[in-house]
Amino acid sequence: MALLSLRAILLTVAIVSTFIQSSWAKPLGTGIHKHHSLDTWFLVTEQSSYVISAAGNGYLVNMHWGKRLTQLDDLNAMVVEPPVFSQIIPVTEAREELPVFGGLRYRENILKVELPKGIRELNLQFAGNANITDKTKLDLDLRDGNRTEFLVTLHYEIDIENDIIRRSYTVRNGLDDRVDLSKASSAAWHLPYALGWDEQRELVTLSGEWSQEAMVQTTRLSPGVKHTVESTRGFADHVSHPYFALAQVPNAVNPTTDVYFGALAWTGSWEITIHTDTKGFVRVTGGIHHQDFGWTLEPGESFTTPVFAAGYTDQGIPGARHRMPRHARKYQKKNVATQKDENVFHPVLYNSWEAVSFDLNEEKQMALAEKAAPLGIELFVVDDGWFGVNSPRDNDTAGLGDWDTNPKKFPNGLKPLADHVHKLGMKFGLWFEGEMVNPDSDLYREHPEWVFHYDGVPEYLSRTQLVLNFGLKEVRDYIFEKVAGHIKEAGIDYIKWDFNRPMQGVTMHNYDRNPQEAWVLAVEGYYEIIARLKERFPHLWFESCSSGGGRMDLGALERTDQVWTSDNTRPDARLFIQYGASLWVPPRMQYGWVTDSSSDKSIEIPLSFRFHVSFMGSLGLGSNINKFSKEQLEESTHWIALYKKLRHVIQNGDLDWLVPPSRVGELVAVTESIYNDGDEAVILAFRHNSPFPDSGELSPIRIRHLDENAIYRVTIWQEDPQNPVDEYDLSGALLMYRGLELPSLNKGMFKSAVVWLQRA
Ligand code: DGJ
């Protein structure tokens, strides 16, 4: 492709905008619109516009992504053409929607294929077909000019009220020969050019590790530096979560709070890259990790990438924090039958894993259930350790894969316990880790070939277990029938599905296709099991767990009822974890358990503080209630009752962090759940430590999103769930502009408060 004609990509953008200016001056409504004569599409959400055009020589480029354009004339001002010298290559600079490997493209690409005759370069242009459905979906076909049978269809779907665009694409092989994909990321996003040299962008990512999930990391973008966040472990992982936000850093003269943010809907290995140059060109790409990825398309076959959803807000990180969780919840409601009704709340659950670990049997669990029910618990979950006949699951070295009830622990199966739990008025839940097997298990002894492995290569254990190949139908069918059998027989209402080690040896045997497809097949196998279980048992709730928060990506959020955020239930640690996870996980999907946990036994954290931290999403209890005093049991009952009074606000509202948790200085954190256009709010305030006398005081907390003209009833609880420490009326204006005072939090360690604001 000659340099000159590629340069035209950018020039054309400028020409197109002139056309538009004169042809269409009517304000645009929300939805997807095509220009009446040009190959230009406008994706308009409530507060943003995303404009793409192939109107030049057919290369599909982004013309605008940002605040909503009210007139198409506005476009003219949006187009910037960088200068072209011999070393500046237009197609590399172009904001291509699908930058491929090939031609003079030297920035991050998102699609690499091997065509017949070993050709590995592509050149895709708009093929003339565009399809808009329901004003919210757009499909655009791109073809490789010389190979008209190689077709890529870009998919766009807009979430109008959350200002989010969902992107993916399908590659179709219409050639007579096979095509091999070695990279198929879902989307490339382009941010507007920087306004000036002093303009800075801050990248927000979420990297941590097991028991320290979703730590918010911030990095300034530097010209020429590429950032990658990723998981190569076969699952979404704790080490990073598939999310990014890019925030404009406001300065004294430019107070902008523009934020671009996105999340990947993929529960396997993934990567997101962010690259910037000296001109402030920022490209974000993301999708399935290309390391060891491979997919072969035989003639007539196609491959569709997972969704990469991204949005824009001018309301800073708080705006992004409202939008992505709402988006996840919207698609959860769409896809998950048990989640459709707003008025069905997540039950208060009890799980004894932290209290008794593997030490469980029918009698002990029944006794716990009898203690849990009067506290107000609505769901009783039996965790790891209930199964294994020849290799009993008494610790984590044996039994995984043998999904038969341990006859010593449950001599009559699970039904008596499930019936007992039901009789006590609670739902019954059970733990599985269906994709795993211990070598010490009947399943592995019978089917060693069912685990991911290479012949002759060691099978590396992690948590003494191996990963089953869920790409194999016979494996999925076997596990499905085992799980389904228990659900039917015992009457199980809820499944906690765990995944406790990374993948290795990922390949297919006796498979007449590309063995590298295993990475994708394994994830699809997980999705299939969820879908099959939910189809067979429409009432069944499904929790996505993975050694804590290793599986809480958008793909899991859109298919399941809830996620387990972290194995670290120490409440002060949990504040940081919940702070990060709340960037994309809807509040109701995020469970917090009140436990006895603290890595430092010398620290006494009051029960009230533990409950208040767990109030932030859906509430669980994981303490050893056998050891609770009468007072602790009573206190728990009242906290649970209070939570139930407030949960419509917490579970259906939006979460804001009025004070983010900080590791230095004032160790405080304050959240606000805001509900129904400011009718009600719940404030959770924590002041957990300050080494400095007369410092670390909570300043008046300025509440957000209230009605300034309304009067609110303010009720405050601290250590006693039955007796509020204060109750009074204040105007919305005062609460928002002067702030709520909580002076009693300023003395002592681990102080906290729950505040309920109700429009009078
Ligand atoms: C890891 C989970 O995160 C825990 O909650 C618990 O279910 C254990 N696995 C059981 O092995």
pLDDT band of residue 666 (cuts 50, 70, 90) is low
Is 567 considered catalytic here? yes
Q: How many CB atoms lie within 10 A of CB 726?
A: 14
Looking at residue 663, its pLDDT comes to 67
- Asked if pLDDT for residue 684 goes beyond 70, the answer is yes
pLDDT over 90 for what percent of the chain? Answer: 81
* CA-wise closest residue to 327 among 307, 343, 304: 307
Residue 76: pLDDT above 80?
A: no
Instruction: pLDDT band for 694, please (50, 70, 90 cuts).
Output: low
Distance 367 CA to ligand 1 centre (A): 22
Residue 277 pLDDT > 90:
no
Q: Which fold is adopted by the domain 658-759?
A: Immunoglobulin-like (2.60.40)
Cβ-contact 252, 540 below 8 angstroms: no
3-state secondary structure of 453: coil
pLDDT at 198: 66
Using the structure block, give the residue that is written with the tokens 């050149």: 123
The annotation status of 402 as a binding-site residue, yes or no, is: no
Instruction: Give the pLDDT of residue 520.
Output: 98
* Complete DSSP assignment for 15-73: HHHHHHHHH--SPP-SEEEE-SSSSEEEEE-SSEEEEEE-TTTS--EEEEEEEPPSSGG
Which tokens hold the place of 229? 């966040």
Top pLDDT among 348 and 37 is at 348
Q: Ligand 1 atom closest to Cα of 383? A: 7
46-51, Cβ contacts within 8 angstroms, sequence gap of 24 or more: 46/160, 46/161, 46/163, 47/163, 47/312, 47/313, 47/314, 48/163, 48/311, 48/312, 48/313, 50/156, 50/158, 50/165, 51/75, 51/78
Closest approach atom of ligand 1 to CA 545 = 3
- What is the secondary structure of 409-434 as a DSSP string? T-TT-SHHHHHHHHHTT-EEEEEE-T
Q: Is the pLDDT of residue 4 over 50?
A: no
Q: pLDDT band for position 141 (50/70/90)? A: very high
The rounded distance, in Å, linking the Cα atoms of 608 and 83 is 62
Neighbours of 29 (CB within 10 A): 9
| Topology given in CATH for the domain delimited by 6-331 | Beta-galactosidase; Chain A, domain 5 (2.70.98)
Mean pLDDT along residues 380-384: 98
The pLDDT of 137-144, averaged and rounded, is 96
Mutate-to-test residue for ligand 1 from 393, 564, 577, 595, highest number of ligand atoms within 8 A of CB = 564
Ligand 1 centroid, distance to 552 Cα (angstroms):
14
- 597 C-alpha to ligand 1 centroid (Å): 14
Ligand 1 neighbours (beta carbon < 6 A): 353, 383-384, 431, 498, 500, 545, 547-548, 564, 567
Average per-residue pLDDT for the chain: 92
Mean pLDDT of 356-360: 97
Q: Which of 545, 552, 591, 597 is the best mutation target for the ligand 1 pocket, counting ligand atoms within 8 Å of the beta carbon and taking the most?
A: 545
Q: Mind listing the pLDDT tens digit for each residue in 291-326?
A: 999 999 999 999 999 999 999 999 999 999 999 999
210 marked as part of a ligand binding site: yes
Q: How far apart are CA 68 and CA 721, in angstroms?
A: 46
CA of 401 to the centre of ligand 1 (A): 16
Nearest ligand 1 atom to the CA of 353 is 6
Q: Which residues pair with 285 in a beta bridge?
A: 188, 273
Catalytic residue selected from 159, 493, 567, 654:
567
Residue of the nearest CA to atom 10 in ligand 1? 384
For 177-201, the DSSP string reads S-EEEEEEEEEEEEEPPPSSTT--E
Q: Is 498 annotated as a binding residue?
A: yes
Dist. CA 292 → ligand 1 center (Å): 29
In angstroms, the CA 574 to CA 425 distance is 30
Q: Which of 235, 383, 590 to mutate to test the pocket of ligand 1 (most atoms within 8 A of CB)?
A: 383
Query: Is the CB of residue 403 less than 8 Å from the CB of residue 372?
Result: no
Of the candidates 498, 596, 654, 656, the residue annotated as catalytic is 498
**Nearest one of 84, 81, 112 to 98, comparing CA atoms:** 112
Q: State yes or no: pLDDT of 430 exceeds 50.
A: yes
Confidence of residue 246 (pLDDT cuts 50, 70, 90): very high
pLDDT at 196: 64
Task: Say whether pLDDT at 72 is over 70.
Answer: no
**Structure letter (DSSP) for residue 579:** H
Atom nearest to 566 CA in ligand 1 = 3
**Rounded Cα gap, residues 482 and 463, in angstroms:** 23
Closest CA to 566 of 599, 538, 541: 599
Q: What is the pLDDT, as a whole number, of residue 195?
A: 64
What is the Cα gyration radius of the chain?
27
70 pLDDT band (50/70/90 cuts)?
confident
What does the pLDDT look like over 335-351, one tens digit per residue?
Answer: 999 999 999 999 999 99
For residue 252, pLDDT beyond 90: no
Region 629-642: what's the mean pLDDT? 98
Q: How far is the CA of 524 from the centre of ligand 1 (A)?
A: 23
Please check the confidence at residue 82 and state whether its pLDDT lies above 80: no
Type of residue at 257 = T
| pLDDT for res 251 | 81
Intrachain domains 6-331 and 658-759 with the same fold: no
Q: What is the DSSP string of 493-540?
A: -EEEE---S---S---SS-SS-GGGHHHHHHHHHHHHHHHHHHH-TT-
Closest-lying ligand 1 atom to the alpha carbon of residue 351: 5
Q: Is 537 known as a binding-site position?
A: no
> What pLDDT score does 193 carry?
77
Extract the runs of DSSP E, i.e. beta strands, from 236-360.
243-248, 259-264, 270-276, 282-288, 295-297, 302-304, 308-313, 349-351
Which residue type sits at 604? E
Output the residue whose Cα is nearest ligand 1's atom 1: 547
Beta-carbon count within 10 A of 692 CB: 9
pLDDT at position 199 over 80: no
Residue 16 has pLDDT above 60, yes or no: no
Q: Which atom of ligand 1 is nearest to the CA of 546?
A: 3
Task: State the pLDDT confidence band at 90, using cuts at 50, 70 and 90.
Answer: confident
Give me the mean pLDDT over the 721-727 stretch: 98
- Residue 202 has a pLDDT of 95
Residue of 441, 180, 157 lying closest to 311 (CA atoms): 157
User: Could you say which DSSP state residue 403 is in?
Assistant: -
pLDDT digits (tens, 9 = 90+) for 493-522: 999 999 999 999 999 999 999 999 999 999
As a whole number of angstroms, the distance between CA 208 and CA 222 comes to: 22
DSSP conformation class of 402 = -
Q: How far is the CA of 354 from the centre of ligand 1 (A)?
A: 9
**39 belongs to the catalytic site:** no
Annotated ligand binding at 452? The verdict is no
Domain boundaries, the chain: 6-331, 658-759
pLDDT computed for residue 11 by the predictor:
40
Closest residue by CA, ligand 1 atom 2: 547
The crossing angle, in degrees rounded to 10, of helices 571-581 and 607-614 is: 10
249 CB burial (10 A radius; 0-12, 13-18, 19+): middle
Identify the pLDDT of residue 697: 72
> Which is more confident, 309 or 23?
309
